[in-house]
Amino acid sequence: MAKERVLWGVGSARALRVHWALIELGLEYRSERIQSRSGETETPAYRRLNPRGKIPVLEDGGLVLCESGAIVTYLAETYGNGRLIPAGGAERAKYFEWVSFISMEIDATTLYVLRRHEALPEIYGEAPTANAAARGYFDRMITAAARDLEDGRRYLLGAEFSGADILMTTCLDWALAYRVPLPEPWLAYRERTTARPAHGRAEAANAVP
């Protein structure tokens, strides 16, 4: 019998990405509603699943997959039938450019710095200089990236919604939660992506118990 599909993790922007992709694709899954920094990622059983002790993790058949960007891309490639990731060519190359840019320049280099040193200084330490630099760098990157929206495209890759939009939207939400100003084209873009029915359902699925 095929193993159940299981998503581990709720209550985080990264987990929301995977809930959203699963729901966009209409895939059944069981949600294990564990949260970061709750002790639930530190149990021996969870560490056997993911020695890094992070959420989200997807179990799909025999596969155990970490890293939200990789999971969204895997789901799109495996179950999308043309949805969430372009089949080939320049559009597919652009998909990977956006996923890499969002994961590195928007998430890891800027928003995660603020997460650690502004929101959780009791764990990661105070770093006001790094925080100010992260805010400035975010502004530079997101303003430059807004130029791609100038041609009036609906989503990052054009007319079709993709996994890159899932990642970008969760980062924009995250930025707003930290009172990081967003250029107007990104606010309008976020209105479009969050209007998708799957986004609302994913937020409900990702809500903390």
Ligand X SMILES: N[C@@H](CCC(=O)N[C@@H](CS)C(=O)NCC(=O)O)C(=O)O
Closest to ligand X by CB, 100 vs 188, is: 100
**Can you point out the beta strands (E) in 63-200?**
63-66
Asked if 54 interacts with ligand X (CB under 6 A), we say yes
CB of 144 to ligand X, least distance (A): 22
- Dmax over CA atoms of the chain, in Å, equals 54
Number of residues that bind ligand X (CB under 6 A): 12
Task: Please pick, from the candidates 16, 19, 24, 68, the single residue that binds ligand X as defined by CB under 6 A.
Answer: 68
* Nearest alpha carbon to residue 168 among 106, 112, 113, 115: 106
* Nearest alpha carbon to residue 35 among 53, 52, 60: 53
Closest to ligand X by CB, 56 vs 163, is: 56
Asked if 125 interacts with ligand X (CB under 6 A), we say no
Asked if 173 interacts with ligand X (CB under 6 A), we say no
Long-range contacts, 126-129 (Cβ 8 Å, 24+)? none
64 SS3 class: strand
Asked if 53 interacts with ligand X (CB under 6 A), we say yes
Task: Please pick, from the candidates 23, 34, 55, 175, the single residue that binds ligand X as defined by CB under 6 A.
Answer: 55
CA 121 to chain centre: 23
Asked if 19 interacts with ligand X (CB under 6 A), we say no
Task: Please pick, from the candidates 25, 27, 32, 67, the single residue that binds ligand X as defined by CB under 6 A.
Answer: 67
Asked if 14 interacts with ligand X (CB under 6 A), we say yes
**Can you give the three-state secondary structure of 4-58, one letter per residue?**
CCEEECCCCHHHHHHHHHHHHCCCCCEEECCCCCCCCCCCHHHHHHCCCCCCCEE
What length is written for the chain?
Answer: 209
Closest to ligand X by CB, 14 vs 190, is: 14
Q: Which of residues 77-106 bind ligand X (CB under 6 A)?
A: none
CB of 204 to ligand X, least distance (A): 18
Closest to ligand X by CB, 121 vs 158, is: 121
